[in-house]
Amino acid sequence: MAVERTFAIIKPDAVKAGHSGEILSAIHAAGLAIRAMRLVRLTPRICQGFYHEHVGKGFYPELEAFMTEGPVVILCLEGEGAILRWRDLMGPTDPAKAPEGSLRKRFGTHIGRNATHGSDRAESAAFEVGYFFSQAFDLV
C-alpha cells in the first residue's frame, strides 16, 4: 500500500460539541499523520468552491448553511492507504448505518450532521488538499 495524503474536516457539529480532541486522538491512534491543520470558519464562497459539484442540487442550501454555521477543523492526513483508512475510521455517511466505534457513529447525529468529512478517492484528495492548503509552507 502506498503512502497517500487525504483531506479531512471535523465539521461544525463535532467542533461545537467539543469532540475535536477525541477525533484527533482517533486519527493518531489509527496511525495517520497530521501534515497540516487549521481551525477556520467557512464562508458561502469557500463552500461553493469546495462543494462545486453539489451547487444547484436540492440539498446544497442546507449543506452550505450547516458548514458555515460555526468553525471547522481542516486537516491534511498522511499514511499508508490514508484515503481508505480515514474513510473506514469515519464510517458511512449516515451515522445510523455506521459501525460501532466509527467516528460518525460516535459523534454524528444524522446523515446531514455526521461530524466528519473525508476525500473519497485520490483525485478528490488532491483537489481538496490543494483547495485549502495551497501554499508550500502549509504542509510538513
pLDDT in tens, the chain (140 residues): 799 999 999 999 999 999 999 999 999 999 999 999 999 999 999 999 999 999 999 999 999 999 999 999 999 999 999 999 999 999 999 999 999 999 999 999 999 999 999 999 999 999 999 999 976 555 65
User: What span, in angstroms and rounded, lies between the C-alpha atoms of 125 and 5?
Assistant: 7
**In-domain check, residue 98:** yes
Angle, helices 82-90/20-29, rounded to nearest 10 degrees: 130
How many other C-beta atoms lie within 10 A of the C-beta of residue 38? 13
What total number of domains does the chain contain? Answer: 1
User: What span, in angstroms and rounded, lies between the C-alpha atoms of 115 and 104?
Assistant: 6
**In-domain check, residue 109:** yes
Residue 113 · residue 11 · CB < 8 Å: yes
Identify whether 28 is a catalytic site residue. no
**In-domain check, residue 140:** no
* CATH number of the domain enclosing 64: 3.30.70.141
Domain assignment of residue 117, given as a range: 3-133
**In-domain check, residue 138:** no
- Nearest CA to 128 out of 30, 43, 49, 20 is that of 49
